[in-house]
Structure 1
Amino acid sequence: MIEFRLNLILKEKGLSQNQFAKKAGIRPNTVNNIVNNKTKRIEIETINRILDEISDWGYDISDLIVYRRWNNK
């Protein structure tokens, strides 16, 4: 399972979801779905926009996305 950690990054930076959405040029609903791990698919362009913003703060893709193995084998 892929887990997004954008919520942790935004908390550390003291930014709201709406502030980040405007800064990154992403729809607020998209940011909300990513923050709450409710997104079923995400465009590469959206990931690039997120990474463009968070990389300025010293984060990279491994800070944003974590893979956890499914336990239902």
Structure 2
Amino acid sequence: MAETAPRTAVRAQGRKAAPASFGGRPAGRRHPLVATAMVLPLAALLAVVFGGWEAVVTQASSVGVMLGR
């Protein structure tokens, strides 16, 4: 098991990254707000479909009460 790391490193060195236009990842990192905007619609959909919306509202209300609002 310990011998797999060197082979993996050698394989990774031989690969070239694909340009972003061909489905590869761009060199930079995604901004956190962009990532949030991408995940929020799916999170809301899952909360509604699986009935978690009431739990989210209850938790938010409890936190509001604890903070004195």
TM-score (ref. length: structure 2): 0.26
Q: Looking at secondary structure, tell me which structure has more helix per residue.
A: 2
Q: Looking at secondary structure, tell me which structure has more strand per residue.
A: 1
Kindly indicate whether structure 1 or structure 2 has the higher relative contact order, using CA contacts under 8 Å at least 6 residues apart.
1
Q: Between Structure 1 and Structure 2, whose CA radius of gyration is higher?
A: 2
